[in-house]
Amino acid sequence: MPTHAWMTDDHRAFADTVKRFLSEEFQPNRDTWKEAGMIPKDFWRKAGDLGILGATVPEEHGGLGLSYGFDVVTFLEQGRIGDSGWGFSVHNIATHYIAAYGTEQQRARWLPKLASGEMVAAIAMTEPGTGSDLQAVKTTAIANGNEYCLNGSKTFITNGASADLIVTVAKTDPKSRSKGVSLMVVE
């Protein structure tokens, strides 16, 4: 098996697990799921059961508490089979947003479900009229008492059709450019 200088025996053992999982659970279904444009929730849950989704989620929130290299192992194994259809990378980024920037209440509410695959995450940045220049997003999230009213359109969202948790880029202060942009977590 190809390896890298930074990999330990633990990374290689984890890579074997991911490789077997993709070979047995993903490859046989790949064409069908591509046709359907969707990865079934059951597949996410199996990845969660094996510790693939929660490898770097803190142990107190249902993960394995490992270093980021273990997530990289999964990306490498996806690359090895030429897969860009399973949106693990986006799920992983959203999970790390919550772990790094969420409140303790948000971490406790969402991280265990993101680690187990009970929840699939997406990130909604791109809009029909806004790509690279995220300061120009038109979606707004306007505070109204104890809630926000979120209004706008998004496109090209990986996991968008199956996501349970969508980290959405919106303007909370439409008069400001970069300073008025926020990440709203939509369950």
Of 14 and 88, which CB lies nearer to ligand FAD in the complex structure? 88
Residue type, 94: A
Collect all residues with Cβ–Cβ distance below 8 Å to 83 and sequence separation of at least 6: 22, 26, 30
Please, what is the minimum distance in Å from the beta carbon of residue 1 to ligand FAD? 28
> What is the DSSP secondary-structure string of 7-73?
--HHHHHHHHHHHHHIIIIIGGGHHHHHHHT---HHHHHHHHHTTSTTTTS-GGGTS----THHHHH
Q: Tell whether residue 39 is a contact of ligand FAD (CB under 6 A).
A: no
Distance CA 70, CA 50 (A): 13
Of all residues in the shown chain, the one whose CB is closest to ligand FAD is 131
Q: Tell whether residue 103 is a contact of ligand FAD (CB under 6 A).
A: no
Q: Are 89 and 75 in contact (CB under 8 A)?
A: yes
Q: Which one among 39, 57, 98, 125 touches ligand FAD, defined by CB under 6 A?
A: 125
Counting residues that bind ligand FAD (by CB under 6 A) gives: 11
Distance CA 105, CA 115 (A): 16
Q: Are 165 and 124 in contact (CB under 8 A)?
A: no
Please, what is the minimum distance in Å from the beta carbon of residue 139 to ligand FAD? 11
Q: Tell whether residue 124 is a contact of ligand FAD (CB under 6 A).
A: yes
Please, what is the minimum distance in Å from the beta carbon of residue 125 to ligand FAD? 3
Please, what is the minimum distance in Å from the beta carbon of residue 155 to ligand FAD? 7
Q: Tell whether residue 178 is a contact of ligand FAD (CB under 6 A).
A: no
Q: Which one among 39, 76, 90, 115 touches ligand FAD, defined by CB under 6 A?
A: 90
Please, what is the minimum distance in Å from the beta carbon of residue 131 to ligand FAD? 2
Cα 164 off chain centre by: 11
Positions in the binding site for ligand FAD (CB under 6 A): 90, 122-126, 131-132, 156-158
